[in-house]
């Protein structure tokens, strides 16, 4: 290779430049193809999102509420009496989480939309009902545990 004439070196340099130019053109073509694929993919994602949001949010949330009613019914009526006290304790814990959510609903000062008043009203009602549930649950649990104490 060291014995190249200037014409041979120039020819090899031209061939290398041509190969680099072809590789660059192929890379640009691949990038354009990838950009087209990404554009098609983003269009498909957008259409899938539009199709998914076609379901009314009220219908979606109402169906979850109805399913929760059925699950709650079957869970409560399938509990044996021996498990009632631990179940009441878990129910009290769940009600405490409901109180937190209801208090957040009561304090919707930042939301000045048309439903803010309803949110505050339902939040207040939820807070009161959950507080009654917690208090009653603790009373029932206390009475049931008192039945197991030795009488003196």
pLDDT single digits (tens) 13-61: 788 777 777 777 777 676 677 667 666 766 776 676 666 567 777 888 8
Region 132-145 average pLDDT:
80
The predicted pLDDT at position 112 comes to 64
Q: How far apart are CA 114 and CA 101, in angstroms?
A: 20
- Can you tell me the distance from the alpha carbon of 145 to that of 139, in angstroms, rounded to the nearest whole number? 10
The reply to whether the predicted model has a pTM over 0.75 is: no
According to the model, what pLDDT value does residue 106 have?
A: 79
Whether 1 has a pLDDT exceeding 60, the answer reads no
State pLDDT tens for residues 55-95: 777 888 888 888 888 887 877 777 777 676 677 677 777 77
Q: Which of the two residues, 51 and 143, has the higher pLDDT score?
A: 143
Q: What per-residue confidence (pLDDT) applies to 29?
A: 72
Half-sphere exposure of 124 (CA within 13 A, CB side): 5
pLDDT at 38: 63
Instruction: Answer yes or no: are the C-beta atoms of 111 and 119 closer than 8 Å.
Output: yes
In SS3 terms, 87-123 reads as HHHHHHHHHHHHHHHHHHHHCCCCCCCCCHHHHHHHH
Q: So what's the pLDDT on residue 41?
A: 66
- 3 state SS of 85: helix
Average pLDDT over residues 101-121: 74
Segment holding 31, helix H or strand E: helix 6-52
> Taking every pair of C-alpha atoms in the chain, what is the biggest distance, in angstroms?
118
Q: What is the Cα–Cα distance from 145 to 84, expressed in whole angstroms?
A: 11
**Once rounded to an integer, what is the mean pLDDT over residues 131-141?**
82
């Amino acid at each position: 290779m060291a014995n190249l004439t200037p014409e041979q070196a120039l020819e090899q340099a031209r061939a290398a430049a041509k190969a680099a130019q072809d590789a660059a053109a192929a890379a640009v073509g691949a990038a354009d193809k990838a950009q087209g694929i990404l554009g098609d993919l983003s269009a498909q994602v957008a259409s899938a999102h539009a199709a998914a949001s076609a379901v009314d949010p009220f219908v979606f949330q109402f169906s979850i509420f109805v399913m929760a009613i059925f699950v709650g019914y079957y869970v409560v009526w399938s509990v044996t009496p021996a498990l009632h006290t631990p179940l009441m304790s878990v129910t009290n814990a769940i009600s405490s989480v409901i109180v937190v959510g209801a208090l957040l609903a009561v304090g919707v000062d930042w939301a000045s939309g048309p439903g803010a008043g309803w949110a505050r009203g339902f939040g207040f009602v939820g807070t009161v009902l959950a507080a009654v549930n917690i208090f009653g649950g603790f009373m029932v649990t206390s009475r049931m545990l008192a039945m197991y104490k030795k009488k003196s």
